Amino acid sequence: MAQNLHSLNQRGRRLVAGIPLVWMILLFLLPFLIVLKLSFSQERLAIPPYAPFLEWINGLPHPALHLSNYAFLFTDPLYISAYLYSLKVAAVSTLFCLLLGYPMAYAIARAPGSRRGMLLMLIVLPFWTSFLLRVYAWIGLLKHDGVINNILMSLGVIHQPLTMLQTDFAVYVGIVYSYLPFMILPLYANLEKHDGALLEAAADLGARPFTAFLRITLPQSVPGIIAGSLLVFIPAVGEYVVPSLLGRTDQLMIGRVLSDEFFENRDWPLASAVAILMLLLLVIPIVLFQRSGVRQIGSHP
Protein backbone atom coordinates (compact mmCIF):
# COMPACT_ATOMS: atom_id res chain seq x y z
CA MET A 1 0.00 0.00 0.00
CA ALA A 2 2.72 2.43 1.04
CA GLN A 3 4.74 1.39 -1.98
CA ASN A 4 1.74 2.02 -4.16
CA LEU A 5 1.20 5.45 -2.71
CA HIS A 6 4.83 6.25 -3.20
CA SER A 7 4.85 5.32 -6.88
CA LEU A 8 1.64 7.24 -7.51
CA ASN A 9 3.22 10.13 -5.72
CA GLN A 10 6.27 9.89 -7.94
CA ARG A 11 4.22 9.75 -11.10
CA GLY A 12 2.11 12.71 -9.97
CA ARG A 13 5.19 14.70 -9.13
CA ARG A 14 6.74 13.98 -12.48
CA LEU A 15 3.58 15.26 -14.14
CA VAL A 16 3.34 18.39 -11.99
CA ALA A 17 6.94 19.42 -12.65
CA GLY A 18 7.00 18.03 -16.19
CA ILE A 19 4.18 20.08 -17.72
CA PRO A 20 5.66 23.53 -17.00
CA LEU A 21 9.14 22.22 -17.74
CA VAL A 22 8.13 21.06 -21.22
CA TRP A 23 6.15 24.26 -21.87
CA MET A 24 9.01 26.54 -20.89
CA ILE A 25 11.56 24.50 -22.85
CA LEU A 26 9.36 24.74 -25.95
CA LEU A 27 8.33 28.39 -25.61
CA PHE A 28 11.24 29.97 -23.80
CA LEU A 29 14.46 28.00 -24.30
CA LEU A 30 13.93 26.75 -27.85
CA PRO A 31 13.11 30.24 -29.22
CA PHE A 32 16.45 31.54 -27.96
CA LEU A 33 18.26 28.72 -29.72
CA ILE A 34 16.44 29.70 -32.92
CA VAL A 35 17.51 33.34 -32.47
CA LEU A 36 21.09 32.16 -31.91
CA LYS A 37 21.00 30.04 -35.04
CA LEU A 38 19.42 32.76 -37.14
CA SER A 39 22.05 35.29 -36.03
CA PHE A 40 24.61 33.21 -37.93
CA SER A 41 22.47 33.14 -41.05
CA GLN A 42 22.44 35.48 -44.03
CA GLU A 43 19.76 37.87 -45.15
CA ARG A 44 17.88 36.91 -48.28
CA LEU A 45 15.16 38.59 -50.29
CA ALA A 46 12.59 35.86 -49.84
CA ILE A 47 9.96 34.57 -47.47
CA PRO A 48 11.21 33.94 -44.86
CA PRO A 49 13.96 36.52 -45.39
CA TYR A 50 16.96 34.43 -44.41
CA ALA A 51 19.08 31.68 -45.92
CA PRO A 52 18.55 28.12 -44.70
CA PHE A 53 20.82 26.82 -41.96
CA LEU A 54 22.02 23.83 -43.93
CA GLU A 55 23.54 24.10 -47.34
CA TRP A 56 23.67 20.93 -49.43
CA ILE A 57 27.03 20.46 -51.08
CA ASN A 58 27.56 17.25 -53.09
CA GLY A 59 24.57 15.70 -51.36
CA LEU A 60 26.04 16.32 -47.92
CA PRO A 61 24.61 18.84 -45.45
CA HIS A 62 26.94 21.66 -44.48
CA PRO A 63 25.94 23.99 -41.71
CA ALA A 64 26.02 27.56 -43.00
CA LEU A 65 27.62 29.65 -40.27
CA HIS A 66 28.14 33.28 -41.16
CA LEU A 67 29.75 35.76 -38.82
CA SER A 68 28.93 38.64 -41.14
CA ASN A 69 26.07 39.96 -38.95
CA TYR A 70 28.31 40.26 -35.93
CA ALA A 71 31.10 41.78 -37.99
CA PHE A 72 28.60 44.36 -39.25
CA LEU A 73 27.50 45.25 -35.70
CA PHE A 74 31.09 46.12 -34.84
CA THR A 75 31.84 48.09 -37.99
CA ASP A 76 28.79 50.36 -38.10
CA PRO A 77 29.11 52.90 -35.23
CA LEU A 78 25.30 53.11 -35.01
CA TYR A 79 25.09 49.83 -33.12
CA ILE A 80 28.00 50.36 -30.73
CA SER A 81 26.69 53.79 -29.77
CA ALA A 82 23.16 52.40 -29.27
CA TYR A 83 24.51 49.68 -26.94
CA LEU A 84 26.62 52.14 -24.95
CA TYR A 85 23.81 54.67 -24.76
CA SER A 86 21.38 51.99 -23.53
CA LEU A 87 23.82 50.87 -20.83
CA LYS A 88 24.28 54.49 -19.76
CA VAL A 89 20.55 55.23 -19.65
CA ALA A 90 19.87 52.02 -17.70
CA ALA A 91 22.69 52.71 -15.22
CA VAL A 92 21.71 56.33 -14.58
CA SER A 93 18.01 55.43 -14.25
CA THR A 94 18.83 52.59 -11.84
CA LEU A 95 20.89 54.98 -9.71
CA PHE A 96 18.06 57.53 -9.52
CA CYS A 97 15.57 54.74 -8.78
CA LEU A 98 17.78 53.66 -5.89
CA LEU A 99 18.27 57.20 -4.56
CA LEU A 100 14.53 57.80 -4.56
CA GLY A 101 13.38 54.27 -3.76
CA TYR A 102 15.68 53.53 -0.81
CA PRO A 103 14.41 56.29 1.48
CA MET A 104 10.85 55.47 0.43
CA ALA A 105 11.26 51.78 1.27
CA TYR A 106 12.98 52.77 4.52
CA ALA A 107 10.13 55.09 5.53
CA ILE A 108 7.54 52.39 4.78
CA ALA A 109 9.47 49.73 6.71
CA ARG A 110 9.63 52.05 9.74
CA ALA A 111 6.01 53.16 9.54
CA PRO A 112 3.57 51.79 12.15
CA GLY A 113 2.37 48.31 11.17
CA SER A 114 -1.17 49.43 10.46
CA ARG A 115 -0.03 52.03 7.91
CA ARG A 116 2.52 49.84 6.13
CA GLY A 117 -0.05 47.89 4.14
CA MET A 118 -1.70 51.05 2.89
CA LEU A 119 1.61 52.66 1.92
CA LEU A 120 2.71 49.55 0.02
CA MET A 121 -0.62 49.53 -1.76
CA LEU A 122 -0.04 53.18 -2.77
CA ILE A 123 3.31 52.17 -4.30
CA VAL A 124 1.96 49.13 -6.12
CA LEU A 125 -1.34 50.58 -7.34
CA PRO A 126 0.10 52.54 -10.32
CA PHE A 127 1.86 49.35 -11.39
CA TRP A 128 -1.55 47.74 -11.92
CA THR A 129 -2.66 50.47 -14.27
CA SER A 130 -1.38 50.51 -17.82
CA PHE A 131 2.37 51.02 -18.17
CA LEU A 132 1.89 52.42 -21.66
CA LEU A 133 -0.66 55.00 -20.51
CA ARG A 134 1.47 56.08 -17.56
CA VAL A 135 4.41 56.74 -19.88
CA TYR A 136 2.06 58.54 -22.25
CA ALA A 137 0.93 60.79 -19.37
CA TRP A 138 4.44 62.24 -19.25
CA ILE A 139 4.13 63.56 -22.79
CA GLY A 140 1.39 65.89 -21.59
CA LEU A 141 3.49 66.97 -18.62
CA LEU A 142 6.84 67.43 -20.35
CA LYS A 143 6.03 68.82 -23.76
CA HIS A 144 6.71 72.35 -24.90
CA ASP A 145 3.23 73.65 -24.11
CA GLY A 146 2.74 70.98 -21.45
CA VAL A 147 1.56 71.14 -17.86
CA ILE A 148 4.98 71.65 -16.22
CA ASN A 149 6.00 74.47 -18.55
CA ASN A 150 2.59 76.12 -18.16
CA ILE A 151 2.80 76.03 -14.37
CA LEU A 152 6.39 77.28 -14.24
CA MET A 153 5.62 80.13 -16.67
CA SER A 154 2.50 81.23 -14.83
CA LEU A 155 4.50 81.26 -11.59
CA GLY A 156 7.11 83.40 -13.32
CA VAL A 157 9.92 80.93 -12.60
CA ILE A 158 10.81 80.74 -16.28
CA HIS A 159 9.98 82.98 -19.23
CA GLN A 160 10.80 80.59 -22.05
CA PRO A 161 9.38 77.06 -22.03
CA LEU A 162 11.98 74.42 -21.22
CA THR A 163 12.69 71.70 -23.75
CA MET A 164 12.15 68.52 -21.79
CA LEU A 165 10.50 66.09 -24.18
CA GLN A 166 12.80 64.08 -26.46
CA THR A 167 15.78 64.54 -24.17
CA ASP A 168 17.83 62.18 -21.98
CA PHE A 169 16.09 63.76 -19.01
CA ALA A 170 12.67 62.63 -20.26
CA VAL A 171 13.92 59.05 -20.69
CA TYR A 172 15.36 59.00 -17.15
CA VAL A 173 12.09 60.34 -15.76
CA GLY A 174 10.06 57.80 -17.72
CA ILE A 175 12.17 54.81 -16.68
CA VAL A 176 12.47 55.85 -13.01
CA TYR A 177 8.75 56.46 -12.97
CA SER A 178 7.72 53.13 -14.44
CA TYR A 179 10.28 50.94 -12.64
CA LEU A 180 10.20 52.57 -9.18
CA PRO A 181 7.93 49.90 -7.60
CA PHE A 182 10.39 47.19 -8.72
CA MET A 183 13.10 48.95 -6.72
CA ILE A 184 10.99 49.61 -3.64
CA LEU A 185 9.47 46.15 -3.14
CA PRO A 186 12.67 44.09 -2.72
CA LEU A 187 14.22 46.90 -0.63
CA TYR A 188 11.17 46.97 1.61
CA ALA A 189 11.17 43.16 1.94
CA ASN A 190 14.77 43.40 3.12
CA LEU A 191 14.49 46.47 5.39
CA GLU A 192 11.34 45.19 7.07
CA LYS A 193 13.21 42.16 8.46
CA HIS A 194 15.96 44.17 10.15
CA ASP A 195 16.35 43.73 13.87
CA GLY A 196 15.70 47.02 15.68
CA ALA A 197 17.67 45.79 18.69
CA LEU A 198 20.97 46.29 16.85
CA LEU A 199 20.18 49.95 16.22
CA GLU A 200 19.10 50.44 19.82
CA ALA A 201 22.35 48.89 21.00
CA ALA A 202 24.27 51.23 18.70
CA ALA A 203 22.35 54.21 20.07
CA ASP A 204 23.00 53.08 23.66
CA LEU A 205 26.69 52.93 22.85
CA GLY A 206 26.54 56.52 21.67
CA ALA A 207 26.34 56.12 17.87
CA ARG A 208 24.50 58.90 16.11
CA PRO A 209 21.50 57.77 14.03
CA PHE A 210 23.26 58.48 10.74
CA THR A 211 26.38 56.58 11.80
CA ALA A 212 24.22 53.67 12.92
CA PHE A 213 22.47 53.71 9.55
CA LEU A 214 25.76 53.67 7.63
CA ARG A 215 27.36 50.97 9.78
CA ILE A 216 24.38 48.68 10.42
CA THR A 217 21.32 49.21 8.20
CA LEU A 218 23.05 49.94 4.91
CA PRO A 219 25.38 46.88 4.91
CA GLN A 220 22.49 44.61 5.89
CA SER A 221 20.36 45.87 3.04
CA VAL A 222 22.90 45.13 0.29
CA PRO A 223 20.98 42.03 -0.96
CA GLY A 224 17.85 44.19 -1.33
CA ILE A 225 19.83 46.88 -3.16
CA ILE A 226 21.27 44.30 -5.55
CA ALA A 227 17.89 42.67 -6.25
CA GLY A 228 16.11 45.97 -6.80
CA SER A 229 18.86 47.39 -8.99
CA LEU A 230 18.97 44.31 -11.22
CA LEU A 231 15.19 44.28 -11.49
CA VAL A 232 15.41 47.83 -12.88
CA PHE A 233 18.68 47.71 -14.80
CA ILE A 234 18.19 44.56 -16.90
CA PRO A 235 14.83 45.38 -18.52
CA ALA A 236 15.79 49.07 -18.79
CA VAL A 237 18.68 48.22 -21.13
CA GLY A 238 16.20 46.82 -23.66
CA GLU A 239 13.47 49.38 -22.96
CA TYR A 240 11.41 50.20 -26.03
CA VAL A 241 8.27 52.12 -25.04
CA VAL A 242 9.83 54.89 -22.92
CA PRO A 243 12.49 56.01 -25.43
CA SER A 244 10.01 55.69 -28.30
CA LEU A 245 7.50 58.04 -26.65
CA LEU A 246 9.74 60.38 -24.64
CA GLY A 247 13.27 59.96 -25.95
CA ARG A 248 15.68 61.53 -28.38
CA THR A 249 15.31 60.99 -32.08
CA ASP A 250 19.02 61.43 -32.86
CA GLN A 251 20.18 58.68 -30.52
CA LEU A 252 18.30 55.38 -30.38
CA MET A 253 18.36 52.81 -27.62
CA ILE A 254 19.22 49.26 -28.61
CA GLY A 255 15.68 47.91 -28.10
CA ARG A 256 14.43 50.34 -30.71
CA VAL A 257 17.30 49.43 -33.06
CA LEU A 258 16.39 45.75 -32.78
CA SER A 259 12.74 46.46 -33.48
CA ASP A 260 13.58 48.70 -36.47
CA GLU A 261 15.96 46.13 -37.97
CA PHE A 262 13.20 43.56 -37.73
CA PHE A 263 10.11 45.51 -38.77
CA GLU A 264 11.45 48.34 -40.96
CA ASN A 265 14.50 46.79 -42.63
CA ARG A 266 13.22 43.22 -42.41
CA ASP A 267 16.76 42.05 -41.72
CA TRP A 268 15.93 39.17 -39.40
CA PRO A 269 19.45 37.73 -39.10
CA LEU A 270 20.85 41.13 -38.12
CA ALA A 271 18.03 41.70 -35.61
CA SER A 272 18.86 38.28 -34.12
CA ALA A 273 22.53 39.21 -33.82
CA VAL A 274 21.54 42.46 -32.06
CA ALA A 275 19.45 40.39 -29.61
CA ILE A 276 22.23 37.87 -28.95
CA LEU A 277 24.78 40.59 -28.29
CA MET A 278 22.34 42.30 -25.92
CA LEU A 279 21.88 38.98 -24.11
CA LEU A 280 25.65 38.56 -23.81
CA LEU A 281 25.85 42.00 -22.18
CA LEU A 282 23.08 41.05 -19.78
CA VAL A 283 24.03 37.47 -19.02
CA ILE A 284 26.07 38.31 -15.91
CA PRO A 285 23.37 40.57 -14.39
CA ILE A 286 20.71 37.95 -15.21
CA VAL A 287 22.66 35.13 -13.50
CA LEU A 288 23.29 37.41 -10.51
CA PHE A 289 19.57 38.13 -10.39
CA GLN A 290 18.70 34.44 -10.41
CA ARG A 291 21.16 33.78 -7.58
CA SER A 292 20.10 36.60 -5.27
CA GLY A 293 17.16 38.46 -6.62
CA VAL A 294 14.45 35.85 -6.59
CA ARG A 295 15.00 35.05 -2.94
CA GLN A 296 14.53 38.73 -2.19
CA ILE A 297 11.29 39.05 -4.14
CA GLY A 298 10.12 35.66 -2.94
CA SER A 299 10.33 36.75 0.67
CA HIS A 300 7.73 39.40 -0.04
CA PRO A 301 4.16 38.07 0.06
Partner 1 sequence: MRSSGWFPRTMLAVGVTFLYAPIVSMMVFSFNNSRLVTVWDAAHSPTLKWYGELLGNDEILGAAWLSIRIALIAASGAMVLGTLTGVALARFGPFRGRTLLVGMTTAPLVMPEVITGLALLLLFITLQQAVGWPRGTGMLTIILAHITFCTAYVAVVVQSRLVGFDESLEEAALDLGARPGTVFRRITLPLVAPALLSGWLLSFTLSWDDLVITQFVAGPGSSTLPMVIFSKVRLGVSPDVNALATLMVLLVATGIIVSTLWMRYQNRRRERDVRLAAAANH
What residues from 2 to 61 belong to the interface with partner 1 (CB under 8 A)?
A: 5, 8-9, 12-13, 16-17, 19-21, 23-25, 27-32, 34-35, 38, 48
Nearer to partner 1, 47 or 57 (CB): 47
Determine the interface stretch with partner 1 among 62-70, 73-81, 152-160, 233-241 (rule: CB under 8 A): 233-241
Region near partner 1 per CB under 8 A, out of 62-70, 75-83, 110-118, 156-164: 110-118
The region of 60-68, 76-84, 153-161, 268-276 touching partner 1 under the rule CB under 8 A is 268-276
Shortest distance, position 80 Cβ to partner 1, whole Å = 18
Coil, strand or helix: which one is 54?
strand
Nearer Cβ to partner 1, position 58 or 186?
186
Positions 166 through 205 that interact with partner 1 (CB under 8 A)? 177, 180, 196, 199-200
Q: What distance in Å separates the CA atoms of residue 120 and residue 110, rounded to the nearest whole number?
A: 12
Please give the Cα distance from 49 to 224 (Å, whole number): 45
| Contact residue for partner 1 among 55, 80, 158, 209 (CB under 8 A) | 209
Query: Least separation, in Å, of the C-beta of 46 and partner 1?
Result: 12
Of 92, 135, 128, which is closest to residue 237 (Cα–Cα)? 92
CA atoms of 49 and 137, how far apart (whole Å): 38
Angle, vertex CA 109, rays to CA 179 and CA 102, nearest 5:
40
Q: Which is nearer to partner 1, 80 or 203 (CB)?
A: 203
Of 51, 87, 119, 153, the residue at the interface with partner 1 (CB under 8 A) is 119
**Should residue 78 be labelled a site residue for partner 1 when binding is judged by CB under 8 A?**
no
Please report how close the Cβ of residue 238 comes to partner 1 at its closest, in angstroms. 2
DSSP notation for 137-152: HHHHHHSTTSHHHHHH
Q: Does 270 bind partner 1 (CB under 8 A)?
A: no
| Residue 300 falls in which region: left (phi positive, over 0), alpha (psi -120 to 50) or beta | beta
Number of helices followed by number of strands (H, E) in the chain? 16, 2
Beta bridge partners of 60: 57
Q: How far is the CB of 107 from partner 1 (least distance, A)?
A: 4
The type of residue at 11 is: R
CB 239, CB 256: distance < 8 Å: no
Residue number with CB closer to partner 1 (129 or 211): 129
Answer yes or no: are the C-beta atoms of 94 and 236 closer than 8 Å.
yes
Decide if residue 163 touches partner 1 (CB under 8 A): no
CA dist 31 and 42 (Å) reads 18
- CA–CA separation, 61 and 63 (whole Å): 7
According to CB under 8 A, which one of 237, 242, 252, 273 is a site residue for partner 1?
A: 237
Contact track, partner 1, 121-160, x by CB under 8 A: xxx-xx-xxxxxxx-xxxxxx-x-xxx--x----------
